[in-house]
Amino acid sequence: MPVILGIETSCDETSAAVLSGTGDTTQLDSLVILSQDVHRVFGGVVPELASRAHLTSIVPVAERALADASVALGDIDAVAVTAGPGLVGALLVGLSFGKAVAHGTGAALVGVHHMEGHLFATSLEHRDAVPPFTALLVSGGHTLLIDVEAWGSYQMLGATRDDAAGEAFDKVAKLLGLPYPGGRHIERLAAESSPEEARPFRFTRPMVRGDQQLGDPDYFDVSFSGLKTAVLHAVRASTNIERDARAIARAFQDAIIDTLVEKSWRAARAFGRQRIVLGGGVACNRALATTMSDRLGPHGVVVFAPKPRLATDNAAMIARAGLFHFERGVRDSLGLNAYASMPIPGLRT
Ligand code: KG4
Ligand code: ZN
C-alpha cells in the first residue's frame, strides 16, 4: 500500500500530510497546517513574506506530519508536492523540499496541480464525494465550475470573469470594516440578520438571467465585481452603517450564494450529475452548503462540503491527488519547476 508525503506551499499555508492507501480507499495518517499570520496586518498575502515564512516552517511542519503518522522518511513511496498554480517563490520552497526528500530517500516525485488537489479534498472526508460529480471550487484566488467525469477527466464549464468569490467576500468585508480575510466575518454578521431585514438592500444576482441557455458564454460563468460595487453604493448611501452592516452583509451573501447555487445546478443538470462537491475556502461557509443542499436536495442532488481543514489549502488533498497520479505511473524528474499558472492535467475546456 503506497505511503505518500504531501507538501503544499502555494500561498500562505505551510502544510504537510501523510496519506496511505490505494484508489479511493485511503487513510489520512496525519495533516499539519501552519497558517501564516503575518499577512493579516497587510490586508492581503505579501509574496516575499510568504516565501520566507515557508522557509522557516517547512522542515518542522513536515517532521511533525511524519511523526504524527509514525512514518519514517524511508517508508515514503512518493512525495506529492504542489507545483502550481500559486506564488512562485512560495511554491519553490515546498518543491525544493520535496525534491530533496525524493532525492535523499529514493521516493518518487509527483508534481500536483493545486486546483486538482481541491477536487480530491472532499473525498478524504466523504466516501461518496467521488466522480462523476459537479465541482464548485471557490477560494480567494479562484472560482471554477468543473464537470468531473472521472478522476483525471475534467471539463471546465465556467469561471469568474473578474473577482473570485472569496475575493468578493474579502473586499466587501473591508467595506464593512471587518478584518482580513473577511469571509467568515461576513458569514457571522449575516447570520445576525434576517431575510426581512436584508430585503431593502437586495442586490441583483450577478450573471443570472432567465433567458440564458446552455451554450451561451455566460450560462456557467460568474462575475462579482459589479456586486461589490453595488455593496459600495449601499454602504455610502447608508445613514447608519453600524445599524445596516449586518443587513448589507446578509444581502450580499444571499446574492453570491444564489448565483453559485444556480450555476452549480445548471452544471449538474446539464451533465446529469447527482453530486455536487464544494471546495476552497468559501466552502467553509455553512450558509452556502446548507442553501445548496436545501434547494437541490429535492432535485435528487447531494451536496458535499468539506470540513474547513480540507476546504482551505492543505497538503492532504495534494497527497490524495498525488496518489492518483502515482498509481497511474506518473513520475516527475528533479528538474520539475514551479509555475504561477498551469493547466489542470486532464482538463478539457
Ligand atoms: O482556499 P483558501 O483558504 O485560500 C485561497 O484563496 O487559495 O480561501 C480563502 C478565502 C478567503 O477569501 C476567505 O475570505 C474565504 O476563503 N472564506 C470564506 C469563509 N471562510 C473563508 N468565505 C465565506 N465564508 C466563510 N465562512
Ligand atoms: Zn487553494
At 216-248, the pLDDT tens digits run: 989 999 999 999 999 999 999 999 999 999 999
Query: What does the alpha-carbon distance between residue 69 and residue 298 come to, in Å, rounded to a whole number?
Result: 41
Q: How far apart are the C-alpha atoms of 256 and 225, rounded to whole Å?
A: 11
Task: Considering every ligand atom shown, identify the ligand nearest to the alpha carbon of residue 45 and give its number.
Answer: 1
- Residue 223 CA to ligand 1 center (angstroms) comes to 17
Is the link from the previous residue into 85 a cis peptide, with omega within 30 of 0?
yes
Residue type, 83: A
- Give the residues surrounding ligand 1 with Cβ less than 6 Å away: 11, 139-141, 166, 169-170, 181-184, 187, 280-282, 284-285, 312-313
**Size (the chain), residues:** 349
Give pTM, 2 decimals: 0.96
Is residue 340 pLDDT above 90, yes or no? yes
Residue nearest atom 8 of ligand 1, based on CA coordinates: 281
Compute the distance between CA of residue 307 and CA of residue 279 in angstroms, rounded to an integer: 9
**Which of 8, 15, 169 should be mutated for ligand 1, with most atoms under 8 A from CB?**
169
For the CA of 11, the nearest atom of ligand 1: 7
User: Helices 286-296 and 241-271 sit at what angle, rounded to 10 degrees?
Assistant: 50
Residue 104: how many other CB atoms lie within 10 Å: 10
The fraction of the chain above a pLDDT of 90, given in percent, is: 94
Q: Residues 121-146: what's their mean pLDDT?
A: 97
Model pLDDT, residue 163: 96
Closest ligand to the CA of 190? 1
Strands 143-150 and 153-159: antiparallel
In the three-class reduction of DSSP (H, G, I as helix; E, B as strand; rest coil), residue 148 is classed as strand
C-alpha cell, 189: 454578521
- State the residue for C-alpha cell 491527488: 321
